[in-house]
């Protein structure tokens, strides 16, 4: 039936049309949703900034695997560096902050499809972090153990030395928040978020990579952004 043939008092199939229109717009948004959302960034940012950050994720989604998030106590917290090293280290938060500081602005990509642009990170490059531990010649893999048990993941020594990889202690000008992995997390922007281990408390150097938490659950250990993750 076309609108021309409908007399004014004849029932019209508005119910079906509404259903099809809403479904059609929704399904097609899988193709245009994100570009449009990005183009509206200037409009939505003032609104998001006005809302309490505890209510709106502001681009971030907080993924955890344990029943509660680890709490950071600056007095007792230590970062252990062990395994195939010349010297095992136990660094306090203050020790870590005394190491050469690096900063970067990079994009964070999650394997589930969302990204956060222009995140301002500050932290320590792995070259500086590992220098005092003196990795042995046969060490090739770093295993990051999170205080959020049983989260663990690995990167190779080559991978932690690509540009813009760091152990970050600040995000957007402030100390890393609890939900982002306080006090320190791995930042490797070229890999999906599950390789960016939060709440790191131990770095073990070894020869072989063990599958990480999500890799044990089917994710690819090749987590380069754009790969299958």
Where does this chain bind other proteins (CB under 8 A)?
Answer: 8-16, 18-23, 26-27, 29-34, 37, 53-57, 60-69, 111-115, 178-179, 218-219, 227-229
Residues 94, 197, 131, 121, CA torsion sign = negative
Reference 201, options 97, 98, 108, 89; nearest CA is 89
Closer by beta carbon to other proteins, 16 or else 208: 16
Closer by beta carbon to other proteins, 112 or else 156: 112
Closer by beta carbon to other proteins, 135 or else 193: 193
The beta-strand segments (E) located in 110-175 are 115-124, 141-146, 152-156, 166-171, 174-175
Structure-block tokens of residue 206: 């070894």
DSSP state of 209: P
The nearest distance, CB 125 to other proteins, in angstroms, is 29
Query: Is 101 buried (19+), middle (13-18) or exposed (0-12) by CB count in 10 A?
Result: middle
Closer by beta carbon to other proteins, 45 or else 228: 228
The nearest distance, CB 127 to other proteins, in angstroms, is 32
The nearest distance, CB 114 to other proteins, in angstroms, is 5
The nearest distance, CB 95 to other proteins, in angstroms, is 28
């Amino acid at each position: 039936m076309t609108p021309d043939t409908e007399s004014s008092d004849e029932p019209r199939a508005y119910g079906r049309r509404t259903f099809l229109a809403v479904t059609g717009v929704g399904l097609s948004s899988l193709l245009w949703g994100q570009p449009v959302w990005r183009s509206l960034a200037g409009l939505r940012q003032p609104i998001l900034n006005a809302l309490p950050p505890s209510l709106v994720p502001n681009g971030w989604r907080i993924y955890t695997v344990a029943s509660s998030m680890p709490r950071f106590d600056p007095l007792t917290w230590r970062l252990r560096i062990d395994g195939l090293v010349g010297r095992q280290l136990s660094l306090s938060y203050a020790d870590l902050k005394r190491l050469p500081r690096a900063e970067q602005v990079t994009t964070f990509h999650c394997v589930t499809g969302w990204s956060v642009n222009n995140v301002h990170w500050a932290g320590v490059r792995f070259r500086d972090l590992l220098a005092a531990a003196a990795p042995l010649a046969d060490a090739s893999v770093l295993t990051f153990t999170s205080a959020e048990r049983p989260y663990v993941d690995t990167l190779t020594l080559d991978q932690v030395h690509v540009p813009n990889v760091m152990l970050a202690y600040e995000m957007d000008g402030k100390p890393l928040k609890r939900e982002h992995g306080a006090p320190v997390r791995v930042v490797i922007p070229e890999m999906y978020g599950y390789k960016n281990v939060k709440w790191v408390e131990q770095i073990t150097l070894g020869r072989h990579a063990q599958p990480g938490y999500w890799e044990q659950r089917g994710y690819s250990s090749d987590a380069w952004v754009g790969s299958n993750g």
